[in-house]
Amino acid sequence: MTDSPTAASQGSSVPQGIDPPPTSVPQGIDPQKVGSWIARTQGVEIADIGYEVLSVGRSNLTFVVTLAGSKRWVLRRPPLGHTGGSAHDVAREGRIMAALDTTDVPVSHVIEIVDDPEVMGVPFVFMDFCAGFPINTAEEWGRIPTERQEATAFGMVDTLAAIHSVDLDAVGLSDLRRPGSLLERQLRRWLSQFENITTRSIPEIAEVHRVLVDRQPPADLSPTGIAHGDYKPNNMIFGPDGTVRAVVDWELTAVGETLTDLGYFIAMLTVPDELTSIWVPRVSDGFPAADALVARYGEVTGASAESLAQVPYYSAFALWKLACIREGVYTRLLTGQMGDLDFDPEEAGAGVESLAQHALTILEKETTR
């Protein structure tokens, strides 16, 4: 879903002898190769094309592509120096978004998934620009009228429920299913990725992993469906009335226990801001309490009380996974693989141990109930 203009007709030739705009071009974009492709496929002048870093997401790189200064498209590519791994598979991400465009899930319209080394050395997704704003700050939350803020919060829950209700077979994503439990796979995967990328000793990661494995809930207590993997207010685009216009950043999407998403959403809304470096609205800002959000999810999805009682475990898992991801971002920032993204490596790395400890606190609290 998008408010951007429809792309121009295909097949125009690129004007000869015209160089890309002389303005600064972000790392990760070859303005001649990419600009020529855009000009050819969208029927525009290469001299009118510009690029801006979009500060949504800290893994795959996202750029706004402007046309004569107006925001027109979005281009998403893997990090600089990326050599493989599904966590940064933008072609897979684009395919998921394209499939969801036919459902009630709000997503930006994917124009093309490009895997041509003559255009860019890595695959990228080219999509329409969705007008609106994410919620990264109190000021952005304040753009939504006070009387609409509760409805906006519950709308986020309703959108999450819509994601979880997608019929995989009907939208052509049945091949995303994997044998066994998503939770089990991710416990193995993120520990392995952490161990492969970290340059530091952080024993708390292994300790929380051990507890999560020991206390894993029965798989049948969480319905199976599409799990977004990074569902929080700054991964959504909102209209002025607080309506969710698009959910973005589908790079961590998988099929499995959908309570992994709900647990993550609740964790991000309740963990201290300093542990995530991400501002989220709180109860004091007019956002409903966690219990009300979980209850709303139960109303919309029909999830049982027994299932919803597992949400704290999945919140702890979410914080542990976030710690592993954060360590990866920290390492890539240190090694210059995040392009022009303006984010302090030390700030990214500072919360890893604290996130793991917070996850352990949640797990210990649950055992005393």
Stretch 40-57: mean pLDDT: 88
Distance CA 141, CA 279 (A): 10
Mean pLDDT of the chain: 87
Stretch 107-115: mean pLDDT: 97
Binning pLDDT at 50, 70 and 90, where does residue 7 land?
Answer: very low
What's the distance, CA 216 to chain centroid? 25
> Nearest to residue 173, comparing CAs of 97, 262, 112?
97
* pLDDT of amino acid 274: 81
Distance CA 242, CA 134 (A): 10
Stretch 132-140: mean pLDDT: 96
pLDDT digits (tens, 9 = 90+) for 149-170: 999 999 999 999 999 999 999 9
The conformation of residue 127, written as its DSSP 8-state character, comes to E
Query: Which residues does 130 contact at the CB level (< 8 Å), separation at least 6?
Result: 1, 2, 3, 4, 74, 108, 237, 245, 246
Q: How many CA atoms lie within 13 A of 118 on its CB side?
A: 3
Burial class (CB in 10 A: 0-12, 13-18, 19+), 19: exposed
* pLDDT of amino acid 346: 63
Query: Which residues does 147 contact at the CB level (< 8 Å), separation at least 6?
Result: none
Stretch 278-305: mean pLDDT: 96
Distance CA 347, CA 325 (A): 14
Q: Which of 71-75, 195-199, 251-255 has the lowest mean pLDDT?
A: 195-199
- Which sign does the torsion angle of CA 293, 297, 302, 308 carry? negative
* pLDDT of amino acid 330: 79
Residue 88 has pLDDT above 70, yes or no: no
The conformation of residue 22, written as its DSSP 8-state character, comes to S
H or E element in which residue 128 lies: strand 124-128
Comparing 261 with 25, the larger pLDDT belongs to 261
Comparing 2 with 88, the larger pLDDT belongs to 88
147, amino acid identity: E
> Nearest to residue 313, comparing CAs of 165, 183, 158, 189?
183
Comparing 88 with 361, the larger pLDDT belongs to 361
Residue 182 has pLDDT above 60, yes or no: yes
Binning pLDDT at 50, 70 and 90, where does residue 365 land?
Answer: confident
pLDDT digits (tens, 9 = 90+) for 333-353: 777 666 555 566 666 667 888
Stretch 77-81: mean pLDDT: 83
